Amino acid sequence: MLGRHPWVFSGAIRTITAEPASGETVNVLSDRGEWLARGAYSPQSQIRVRAWTFDPDEQVDVAFFQRRLAHALELRKRLAMVWPTRAFRLCNAESDGLPGVVIDRYGPWFVGQFLSAGAERWKAEIAAAALKVLPGSGFYERSDVEVRAKEGLPQTTGVLAGKEPPELFEIDDNGPRMLVDIRRGHKTGMYLDQANNRREVRRLVQMSRGDVLNAFCYTGGFGLHAAAGQASRIVQLDQSADALEVAQENATLNEYINEFEYIQGNAFDELRRLREAGRSFDVVILDPPKFASGAAQLERAAGAYKDINLLGAQLTKPGGWLLTFSCSGHMTPSLFSQVVADALVDAGRDGQVVQPLTQSPDHPVSIHYPEGHYLKGLLLRV
Ligand code: SAH
C-alpha cells in the first residue's frame, strides 16, 4: 500500500472495525494509525481490499468514477485509438485506477467485466459514467468469468444500460474488418490486447509475402492482417469450430483473394501433423491460451509452451519469423524467454529476438502494479 500497490491481502490485516459489506468502501490505516487508502472491501477474497484512491480528500462516488474514466479516455484519445468504427480498451482495471473494472468499446457499444466486489457494488454507476464520458448505444456486461467466484460473486451477463447489442458487430481492426460477438465471444468479444501485434504481422508479411501459419487463431485476426499484407497462403488453426467459422466469415467480409486453409483441431497434434507432412512457413504465429492460471501450474505450463514452440520453430523456414506469445501472468518474461530458448535448442535452431512484444497501449500497466503486464511475446528470426 505504501508503494501504491492497490491490493491488501487478508494476511496483512490486523483488525477490522465494524462489519463492512461486500464491496463497501472502507478506509485502510497502517498499524500506526496513519491513513493509507480508501478502497473496496471484499470479505471472501484473499485480496481483502482493493484501493480506489490514495488521496484522503477523494470520495468514492459517481463523480469519482466519471473522473477516472475521463482520465482513461484521454489517454486513448492521445494514442489516437478512439474512432467510431474501431475497438479499444477504455479501462484496464487496476492499471487505470479502477480495480476489477474492465471496459472495452466496440463502435458505439461498451462491454464491461466487473471482477471484484467493489466493481460489482458500483457497476450501475460505472456503466452510466462510461456512457457519460463517451456517449454510445449501450453498455453490455460480460461478467461470465471464473475469477468472480474468488470474490463470492456469481457469473452474469446482460444489458446494464441502453440497448441490446446486435448478434454480430463489425469493427475495423486497423485495416481488416472483423465480426465481433459481444455476447458470447472470448473475453469481451475479441482479443484487443493483440491489436498492435496483429498490425506488426501485416508489416512483416508485406516485406516477404510468403506463407503464414496462424496457430490458435480464434476468429483469424493475425491471419487477416497477413492477408492484408499480401501473404500468398494463410493457415488458420484453432480447436474451436465456431471461432473458425467466424474466421472464414471475416475473410469473406474483407474480400481477400489470398489462399486460406482452415484446420480445426488440437494444435499439439495438428502442428505435429503439419511437420510430418513436410510443411513450412515464412511466418509462424503462436498465440496459445493461458496455460498457467496459477503459480502451481507453472511447471506443466512451461512444458506445454516448450512443446508448442519446438513445433512452431520446426515449421518456420530458415530465416523466417516466429512470433510467440504467452498471456499467463505467472509466466515472467525471463522464464518465457528461457522456455523458448530451450525449445529452439531442441529444434536445432538458432534464434534472434528482433523485438520483444507486449500488450497494446490501451492495456497500460500501472508502474505500481506489475501484475498488469500479462501478455508477453517475442519476434524472433529463427
Ligand atoms: N490470436 C487470437 C487470439 C487467440 S486466443 C487473436 O488475435 O484474436 C486462443 C485460442 O486458442 C482460442 O481461440 C482457443 O479456441 C484456441 N485453443 C485453445 N486451446 C487450443 C488447442 N489445444 N489447440 C488449438 N487451439 C486451441
* Mean pLDDT for all residues in the chain: 97
Q: How confident is the model at residue 292 (pLDDT cuts 50, 70, 90)?
A: confident
Task: Indicate which residues carry an active-site annotation.
Answer: 327
Q: Which amino acid is at 211?
A: D
Encode pLDDT of 316-338 as tens digits.
Answer: 999 999 999 999 999 999 999 99
For residue 104, what is its C-alpha cell? 472495452
Average pLDDT over residues 223-232: 98
Closest protein CA for atom 10 of ligand 1: 216
| Ligand 1 centroid distance, CA of 196 (Å) | 18
Q: How far apart are CA 373 and CA 376, in angstroms?
A: 8
| Ligand 1 centroid distance, CA of 240 (Å) | 8
Cβ–ligand 1 distance for 241 under 6 Å, the answer no
- If we measure between CA atoms, which residue out of 132, 128, 136 comes closest to residue 160? 128
| Ligand 1 centroid distance, CA of 380 (Å) | 21
Of ligand 1's atoms, which has the minimum distance to the CA of residue 191? 8
For residue 371, what is its C-alpha cell? 501484475
Q: How confident is the model at residue 295 (pLDDT cuts 50, 70, 90)?
A: confident
Q: How far apart are CA 112 and CA 220, in angstroms?
A: 23
Q: How far apart are CA 354 and CA 358, in angstroms?
A: 13
What was the pLDDT predicted at 297?
Answer: 87
Q: Is the pLDDT of residue 2 over 80?
A: no
Average pLDDT over residues 112-120: 98
Task: Judge contact between 202 and 225, C-beta under 8 A.
Answer: yes
Cβ–ligand 1 distance for 44 under 6 Å, the answer no
Residue percentage of the chain with pLDDT more than 90:
96
Cβ–ligand 1 distance for 191 under 6 Å, the answer yes
Q: How far apart are CA 70 and CA 83, in angstroms?
A: 16
What was the pLDDT predicted at 360?
Answer: 98
Residue percentage of the chain with pLDDT more than 70:
100
Domains detected in the chain: 7-53 (2.30.130.10), 62-167 (3.30.750.80), 187-381 (3.40.50.150)
Q: How far apart are CA 132 and CA 145, in angstroms?
A: 26
Of ligand 1's atoms, which has the minimum distance to the CA of residue 289? 9
Coil, helix or strand at residue 12 = helix
Closest protein CA for atom 15 of ligand 1: 240
